[in-house]
Structure 1
Amino acid sequence: METYESIKHWKDQNISSYLDTNQSLNDFHDQVMSKVLDVAMKKLSKYNIPCEFTWFITGSGGRLEQGIVSDQDHGIIYAKSDIESDAYFLALGKEISVGLNIVGYPYCKGNIMSSNPVWCKSFVQWERQLFNWMADESWESIRYLQIFYDARELYGNTNYIQELKYSIYQYQIEHPSLLHRIVANIKHVRNAIGPLGQIMIEQHGKFQGGINLKYAAFIPYVNSIRLLAIKEGILECSTLQRIEVLNGMEIYGNVLEGCESNFSNLLNYRMTFLNGASYDDTHYLNVRLLTNEQKKEIKRILKDGKSLHDQVIAQVLQ
């Protein structure tokens, strides 16, 4: 039987063979995480699985946008709630979280893990929780709602996530104020370009000379496109898939011009340059390593991301 340690060894030995494209790297992460789930279920094999369930990942994993080093973001949806089911799936969630950490996916600092009862619930409980998040006006509830919208199943019934996401779409049609609350949650973005048109780099510390691509570049694109996906009921998970669907809608033709190629290039830059040893390391791009042409391209991608962010918000608030 495989162990978490043997999976880690296999992962470390083989990941370099999957760095050709963002898709191949994320397919590899899916393989690794599925192996962890399999071991976790076998460790609990003395108990019967009480009912059907789905295990999903979210965050960059759900969007198929993980880098070489990634933390863990995941949850469980199961068919029915009773004493046996609640206990089993929470135990499974804790086992999965331990396994992923051993294999090389650090614990999520925000506790978005199946070991947390907030992210391990029956389908009906999930329906109720999503409704509460949508009705609540707190910053945290809206953040959780967006995190859930990036969920992608790695195991089990695919319908659970689709139905729950669709309920978010239906709610915002009846309650347009939900989109306004999401806008309030995402409207502040880090200033990446200075007043003289220069890239704003870190001036001190470990990442001196670098720019945090996660906050300066990825987040404006990811948040803007997710907002439109919720507005239009697009159930696809990845930012690129969402852009593809949105590009088919005439209303977004001008807003999304160049967006798909910009985001693809961002993913490629991360694959090429961001090979840090830790999760934080993988977010920083050392601008000094870039050619002049690459610097121009990064600057344009950053400017376009800010423009996209501002235009999407303006369009949603109309």
Structure 2
Amino acid sequence: MEEHLLRCIDESQTIENLIVLRQKGLDDYRSTITDRWMSHSEFKQLGEFHRHLYKRVIEITLQELEIEGKIPKKFKPFSFVLLGSGGREELTSASDQDHMMIIQGTDEMDEEEELFYAHFTQRIAVSMVQIGLPLCEGNVLATNRKWRLLEGELRLQLDEWFYDHDWKQVRNFIILYDMNSVYGDVEIVDRIRQYIYRKLEQSPFFLKRIFENMKKNEVPLTPFGKIMISMYGPHQGSISVKQGMYLPLVKSIRLISIGEQIHANSTLSRIQHLVDQGFWDENTGNYWSFTFLKIMTLRYGMPIRFAMKDGDHLPYSHLAAREQGEIKEILRSLKDLQKEAESYVKHKLGERR
């Protein structure tokens, strides 16, 4: 990703211009990986690309609100936070929006502040849709008051999630755990992170609930090693790269990282920290990093030899033997990773009994 493109994003004055720049960036990127897997540096540049886009949308929105006279004279500092794949800096051309706003303090907001933050986040979400990121179907959005919270409100919410252990609460925690501030007061997010780390230390068995969430994304392999493909419908003969490959890897790495008290956001950073801390040797870390980059390349619909029409459905039944072999090797290794994560949790909780 050229530095020139990032400068163009940072200097853009309109959302319309950002729409053009996002499409250009994605097209240019795809053209470089038509016949190979992406590199670590290329993947990092993609993360920066999406981060710059989000940041500039927020800046333009604030400028427009100021011109319109819709910014109150006094409002609390805030942090606009990306969640999920955005928080991990793993957005793709097919990603949707997952974000929240954390507002400084514990005192209740007055009506003017409430209206400002509601209108502000609505404008951001609409602009991101125009750029090409649809709204999250689960409504994990800063436009939703449940994801637009004061620091004090979020701490109380975390207390409830850790106490309840309901699967929905665990899912919400996992969504929040990958948070990454893209604009505003970073210290707000840092304080919430420290609160989360303390809660995890106090609630070791919460790790088991996170493991149960991980198991919801099983690798599509039978006990006999046969690949389970879609048998009917428009994606007949295909497997989902997101559900069957990407999420099993991301969730397994995150689970082990939480257990090892690794405070990193991206999957690649978590893998590197596991190596640095001696959990894995360098060869194992390199293997998982490269496997992750292969999966992310597939999520961009490349390399072209895999004949993907989108960033998810891999037409396994129609692939040549060589490509089928590559995919099967990835799936088998992911199955082993999930087993390793399961053994890790059992061992970790056994130590604490």
With normalisation by structure 2, the TM-score equals 0.81
Deviation per residue, 1:212-254 (Å, 9 max, x gap): 0111111111111111222233221110101100112234449
- Are 1:255 and 1:308, in contact at CA under 8 Å, matched by a contact in 2? no
**Structure 1: which 5+ residue stretches go unaligned?**
none
TM alignment of 1:270-285, pairs within 5 A: 270-273=299-302, 281-285=310-314
Q: Aligned pair in 2 of structure 1 residues 87, 317: CA closer, same or farther (>3 Å)? A: farther
- Are 1:97 and 1:107, in contact at CA under 8 Å, matched by a contact in 2? yes
Give 1:143 shift: 0.4
Structure index of larger Rg: 2
Counterpart AA for 2:226? Q
- Are 1:274 and 1:281, in contact at CA under 8 Å, matched by a contact in 2? no
Quote the residue 2:173 is aligned against. Answer: 145
Quote the residue 1:231 is aligned against. Answer: 259
**Structure 2: which 5+ residue stretches go unaligned?**
1-11, 33-41, 348-353
Say if 2:94 is the partner of 1:73: no
Partners of 1:215 and 1:105 in 2: CA distance: 19
- Are 1:71 and 1:108, in contact at CA under 8 Å, matched by a contact in 2? yes
Quote the residue 1:266 is aligned against. Answer: 295
Counterpart AA for 2:205? S
| Percent identity (aligned) | 28
Counterpart AA for 1:54? S
Quote the residue 1:249 is aligned against. Answer: 277
TM alignment of 1:23-172, pairs within 5 A: 23-45=44-66, 46=69, 47-48=71-72, 50-80=75-105, 81-83=108-110, 84-172=112-200
Counterpart AA for 2:16? E
Give 1:163 shift: 2.6
- Are 1:255 and 1:312, in contact at CA under 8 Å, matched by a contact in 2? no
Say if 2:29 is the partner of 1:18: yes
Q: Aligned pair in 2 of structure 1 residues 231, 210: CA closer, same or farther (>3 Å)? A: same
Partners of 2:283 and 2:200 in 1: CA distance: 22
Partners of 1:270 and 1:185 in 2: CA distance: 22
Give 1:188 shift: 3.1
Counterpart AA for 1:315? Y
- Are 1:255 and 1:311, in contact at CA under 8 Å, matched by a contact in 2? no
Partners of 2:52 and 2:171 in 1: CA distance: 28
Q: Aligned match of 1:8 in 16, 19, 28?
A: 19
Deviation per residue, 1:160-211 (Å, 9 max, x gap): 2233223222212222121112122222333412455333222222222221
Count of residues in Structure 1 that have an aligned counterpart in Structure 2: 314
- Are 1:214 and 1:283, in contact at CA under 8 Å, matched by a contact in 2? yes
Q: Which moved more, 1:45-54 or 1:252-261?
A: 252-261
Deviation beyond 6 Å, 4+ runs, structure 1: none
Secondary structure of the residue aligned to 2:56 is helix
Partners of 2:78 and 2:169 in 1: CA distance: 24
Partners of 1:215 and 1:236 in 2: CA distance: 23
Give 1:268 shift: 2.5
Q: Aligned pair in 2 of structure 1 residues 85, 95: CA closer, same or farther (>3 Å)? A: same
Secondary structure of the residue aligned to 2:311 is helix
Partners of 1:59 and 1:2 in 2: CA distance: 28
Partners of 1:259 and 1:288 in 2: CA distance: 25
- Are 1:58 and 1:147, in contact at CA under 8 Å, matched by a contact in 2? yes
Partners of 2:280 and 2:146 in 1: CA distance: 35
- Are 2:301 and 2:312, in contact at CA under 8 Å, matched by a contact in 1? no
Partners of 1:252 and 1:166 in 2: CA distance: 26
TM alignment of 1:279-298, pairs within 5 A: 281-288=310-317, 290-298=319-327
Quote the residue 2:6 is aligned against. Answer: none
Counterpart AA for 1:2? Q
- Are 1:274 and 1:285, in contact at CA under 8 Å, matched by a contact in 2? no
Q: Aligned pair in 2 of structure 1 residues 255, 89: CA closer, same or farther (>3 Å)? A: farther
Say if 2:230 is the partner of 1:202: yes
Secondary structure of the residue aligned to 1:282 is coil
Give 1:50 shift: 0.9
Partners of 1:62 and 1:114 in 2: CA distance: 14
- Are 2:219 and 2:248, in contact at CA under 8 Å, matched by a contact in 1? no
Partners of 1:227 and 1:110 in 2: CA distance: 22
With normalisation by structure 1, the TM-score equals 0.89
- Are 1:53 and 1:79, in contact at CA under 8 Å, matched by a contact in 2? yes
TM alignment of 1:211-222, pairs within 5 A: 211-222=239-250
Give 1:290 shift: 4.2
- Are 1:76 and 1:121, in contact at CA under 8 Å, matched by a contact in 2? yes
Deviation per residue, 1:268-317 (Å, 9 max, x gap): 23335389xxxx94211222564433322221111111211121122112
